[in-house]
Structure 1
Amino acid sequence: MQRTLSALALTLILAAPPVGPVMAQSKSVVEFAPGNFGTMVNGTIEGDEYIDYMLGAKAGQEMFIELTVDGTNGTGSVYFNVLPPESAGEAIYNSSIDGNSTTVPLPSDGDYAIRVYQMGTDADAGKTAGFRIDLSIQ
Structure 2
Amino acid sequence: MLKLATGCLLLCAATFGAADYAHAQARAERVQFAKGASAKTISDSLKGDQSVDHVVGARGGQQLTVALDSSNTSTYFNVLPPGSETALFVGSTSGNQFTGTLPASGDYRVRVYLMRNVARRNESTDYKLRIGVTGGAATATTIQPSAKGKPISAGNRPAYCRGEAAGQYGTRPAYIKTLAPMKAASGAIIIDGTVDKGSEGIKKFRCRFDAQGLFIDVMALTPDGE
Could you tell me the TM-score, scaled by structure 1's length?
Answer: 0.77
Q: Secondary structure at the match of 2:103?
A: coil
- Matched with 1:63 is 64
Report what 1:5 is aligned to: none
Say if 1:54 and 1:113, in contact at 8 Å, map to a contact too: yes
Q: For the structure 1 residues 24 and 93, does the alpha-carbon distance in structure 2 shift closer, same or farther, using more than 3 Å as the test?
A: closer
What does 1:6-85 align with in structure 2 at a 5 Å threshold? 23=24, 25-69=26-70, 71-72=71-72, 76-85=73-82
The aligned counterpart of 2:96 is: 100
Please state whether the residue corresponding to 2:117 is helix, strand or coil.
helix
Please, what is the CA RMSD of the aligned residues? 1.4
In the TM superposition, 1:91-130 aligns within 5 A as: 91-130=87-126
Q: What amino acid does structure 1 have at the position aligned with 2:86?
A: E
Gaps of 5+ in 1: 1-21
Deviation digits for residues 30-80 of structure 1, max 9, x if unmatched?
Answer: 0100000000011101111111000000000110000001x34xxx30000
Q: Provide the rounded CA distance (Å) in 1 between the counterparts of 2:86 and 2:106.
A: 15
Letter in 2 for 1:102: F
* Structure 1 counterpart SS, 2:33: coil
Letter of the 1:111 counterpart = D
Count how many residue pairs are aligned between Structure 1 and Structure 2: 112
More strand by share: 1
CA contact (8 A) 1:77 1:119 kept: yes
The alpha-carbon deviation at position 25 of structure 1 amounts to 3.1
Partner of 1:18: none
Point out the structure with max Rg over C-alpha: 1
Secondary structure class of the residue paired with 2:122? coil
The answer (yes or no) to whether the contact 1:93–1:104 under 8 Å persists in 2 is no
2:127 aligned partner: 131
TM-score (norm 2): 0.48
The Cα shift of 1:24 comes to: 5.2
Q: Percent identity?
A: 32
